[in-house]
Amino acid sequence: MRSTGSKEKSSGAFLPLCREEAVARGWDAPDFVYVSGDAYVDHPSFGVAIISRVLEDAGFRVAILAQPDFRSSDAFKEYGRPRLGFLVTGGNIDSMVAHYTAAKKKRSFDYYSPGGKTGLRPDRAVIVYCNRIREAYGDIPIILGGLEASLRRMAHYDYWNDRVRNSILVDSGADILTYGMGEKILVRIAKLLDRGIPVRKIRDVRGTVYLCDKEDAVHFPVAGRFDSEVLKTDKLEYARAFAVQYRENDHIRGRAVIEYYGGRMLVQNPPMPPLEREELDRVYALPYMRDCHPSYMKSGGVPAIAEVKFSITHNRGCFGGCNFCAIAFHQGKSVRSRSPESVIEEAKLLTSMPDFKGYISDVGGPTANFRYPSCEKQLKDGMCPSRSCLSPTPCKNLIVDHTEYTRLLRSISAIEGIKKVFVRSGVRFDYVMADKNEDFFRELVCEHISGQLKVAPEHCSAHVLSAMGKPDYSVYRRFRKRFFELTREAGKEQYLVPYLMSSHPGSTLEDALELALELKENGYSPEQVQDFYPTPGTASTVMFYTGIDPFTEKKIHSADAEEKRMQRALLQYSRPENRSLVIKALEKLGRTDLIGRSGKCLVPPGKSEKHAGAGNKRGGRPSASGASSGNSSKRAAAPERKSKKSTP
């Protein structure tokens, strides 16, 4: 047996993607075969790249099996039987999200596949891959990781089946599941396997989920015990179970959570502590090739690399706490960042790449302008279980400081060969507005925007924003006003691109109308609106399924399919194809005064309508009060410009 004492050294090349490449390295067999639903991209924005390089750095041989033919077990025998086992991930995003839109329509393009081709990974990729591995090698260790496994680690509502499914560990038949950021977890597991410890005996590693007998001892204190069959039928119990899981997802005060599956017990251990600054620096200094594997070039490459190839990740974690975002359930709320020296070294490395044109596309992360934990208290006691750092108002203990980030951006900009440094990942504008020092805001506006700044107000209704975990809309108004003032002072022409979301739990037709009127008042017509997408691992998805806020246990409105269409249409009222749906919504609300040809109306009447822009005003709330900020999924929108009607 090869010992990790004779460390496997990096060859400064891609890891093997096929048997021939493994043989060329002189390998008789890899230690691990890493199965992924994505094409192989060796860049630190991709989980497979990070984990494989970290394991390599720890002395293990890792071979990549990217998007194998899942129709039989043959492709899973590419490298023969690995010495220690298989690692399995669905890829950078959940395979169902990769395949389907929020309307459950099949996508026609896959950013994580060569040439954008669809169909190269199966639905529920993790489960299918594990089944094929078992067919090929029987009782071999299988370790799950990545977003699909992490967010489905316990019983979870599945939007596509419209029911609560088992933990993916149960359905896949794998041996152990890792959740969150996996570097420490997988190195620990790899070393235990290398010592000859059976995988089913590995039960004390933080950040893991495992199955055992009901009578077995648990290594950590237990916060809650739930029966999976009850969770599938009792929505209140399901909401309570999620709230426990969410609150225990803290590496300092977190405890184990248990689910029962017949005579078996599923145990989620507390989270692994996040990587500290020196550890992060080491991870990002590993010898990534920073591109997709050359074998994909004949297909046009892998589209997902284009946006991030010349970007830099400087932080992890997010204490923003948006309920529709899974970051808190995956990376966690505890923010950690790389040293300025580490980030600057990576920027210098980018300037040496042959296709670098002088532009750093982003220096960001889950939230670009977070560098440190939210307060001193959470470093000792963990994140507050029932208090958000930023909403509805900033916590009195919140430390707001952009100083280091501002200096970092300036240092990168001063590197020879760099023409411009952009900030394109989400900027928490409420955190910006909480900073009494305006240096970062000025620096951002003057130096680091490519004409448009993406921000995420999401909505304007107060109670919708409360359900989202967002602060008041007045914060966004103040930010918008100051943004345009600073833009004018800098002599620039720049715009805001606000992300908006329709039909989030809590949002009614009245709320959608309120946002539509706010958009009209400001002369803004969004090209694209994100319809709320119920994905595993978010509090908002629990609200959608149960009609219950898991943190307060109060009832909350959840739109049906028809109302979802009307809400989205109201937000894009100016589109001709939406006119009939907008009219239907306005008639339902008793706001036919908004159907007509006067300046205050949202839509002209249809052929059969005789509305003239005057009528019953019952049901409308034309004023806007409420809102948000923060990092959300990347979705396109037309820029918000200062109009004659708007307050800049």
| pLDDT tier for residue 627 given thresholds of 50, 70 and 90 | very low
208-213 and 176-178 beta bridge pairing: antiparallel
Residue 101 has pLDDT above 50, yes or no: yes
Residue with tokens 């159907």: 595
* Per-residue pLDDT, 9: 56
* Residues contacting 194, CB < 8 A, separation 6+: 1, 3, 4, 31, 60, 84
Q: How far is CA 317 from CA 314, 321, 526, in A?
A: 11, 10, 29
pLDDT classification of 610: cutoffs 50, 70, 90 = low
Which of these, 267, 38, 34, lies nearest to 153 by C-alpha position? 267
Angle, vertex CA 294, rays to CA 286 and CA 357, nearest 5: 70
Calculate the alpha carbon distances from 216 to 139, 142, 211, 213, 403 in Å: 22, 21, 10, 5, 50
Q: What is the pLDDT of residues 141-165, one digit of tens each?
A: 999 999 999 999 999 999 999 999 9
pLDDT at 523 over 90: no
Stated as kind and residue range, the H or E segment containing 502 is: strand 495-502
Listed range (176-180, 378-382, 620-624) with the worst mean pLDDT: 620-624
Is the CATH code 1.10.1040.10 the one for domain 310-450? no
Q: Residue 524 — very low, low, confident or very high, per pLDDT cuts 50/70/90?
A: confident
pLDDT grade for 639, boundaries at 50, 70 and 90 = low
* Alpha helices (runs of H) in 248-357, residue ranges in sequence order: 277-284, 305-308, 327-330, 340-351
Number of alpha carbons in the 13 Å side-chain half-sphere of residue 511 = 27
Percent of the chain at pLDDT exceeding 70: 92
Place of tokens 């290398």: 194
Backbone angles phi, psi at 580, to 5 degrees: -65, -40
- pLDDT band at residue 44, thresholds of 50, 70 and 90? very high
Task: Indicate whether 624 pLDDT > 70.
Answer: no
Q: Are the C-beta atoms of 194 and 188 separated by less than 8 Å?
A: no
pLDDT at 231 over 60: yes
Per-residue pLDDT at 617 exceeds 70: no
Looking at residue 631, its pLDDT comes to: 34
Examine the pLDDT at 10 and tell me if it is beyond 60: no
> Tens digit of pLDDT for each residue in 438-480?
999 999 999 999 889 999 999 999 999 999 999 999 999 999 9
Q: Which residues of 145-161 are buried (b: 16+ CB within 10 A; e: fewer)?
A: bbbbbbbbbbbbbbbee
* Mean of the per-residue pLDDT values of the chain: 91
**Angle, CA of 467, 468 and 470, to the nearest 5°:** 110
d(CA 274, CA 283): 13
* CA 329 – CA 321 distance, rounded (Å): 10
Residue 64 phi, psi dihedral angles, 5° rounding: -95, 135
Q: What average pLDDT does the segment 221-242 reach? A: 98
Predicted pLDDT at 283: 98
Number of Cβ within 10 Å of residue 552's Cβ equals 13
**pLDDT greater than 70 at residue 622:** no
Residue 508 is predicted with a pLDDT of 97
**19-206: CATH number:** 3.40.50.280
Q: List C-alpha distances in Å: 272 to 47, 179, 204, 288, 581.
A: 17, 9, 11, 25, 49
Band of pLDDT at residue 321, cut at 50, 70 and 90: confident
pLDDT of residue 203: 97
Which tokens sit at 216?
């077995």
Q: What is the pLDDT of residue 425?
A: 83
Please tell me the distance from the alpha carbon of residue 315 to that of residue 378, in angstroms, as a whole number.
17
| Fold agreement between 19-206 and 453-648 | no
pLDDT band at 609 (very low <50, low <70, confident <90, very high): low
* CB-count burial class (<10 Å; 0-12, 13-18, 19+) for 452: middle
Per-residue pLDDT at 630 exceeds 50: no
User: What tens digit of pLDDT does each residue of 109-134 get?
Assistant: 999 999 999 999 999 999 999 999 99
pLDDT(1) > 50: no
pLDDT tens digits, one per residue of 75-89: 999 999 999 999 999
Mean pLDDT (whole number) for 412-433: 95
d(CA 100, CA 104): 5
pLDDT tier for residue 606 given thresholds of 50, 70 and 90: confident
Distance, in Å, from the CA atom of 563 to the CA atom of 585, rounded to the nearest integer, reads: 8
Q: Which residues contact 292 (CB under 8 A, 6 or more apart)?
A: 39, 40, 41, 42, 114, 301, 302, 305
**What is the pLDDT confidence band of residue 65, given thresholds at 50, 70 and 90?**
very high
* Residue spans per domain, the chain: 19-206, 310-450, 453-648
Average pLDDT over residues 525-543: 93
């009901």: which residue's tokens?
A: 214
Distance CA 227, CA 225 (A): 7
Q: What's the first-to-final CA gap in the chain, in angstroms? A: 68
Which class would CATH give 453-648?
alpha beta
* Residue count (the chain): 648
Give the dihedral sign, CA 150/151/155/159. negative
Nearest CA to 445 out of 462, 423, 428 is that of: 423
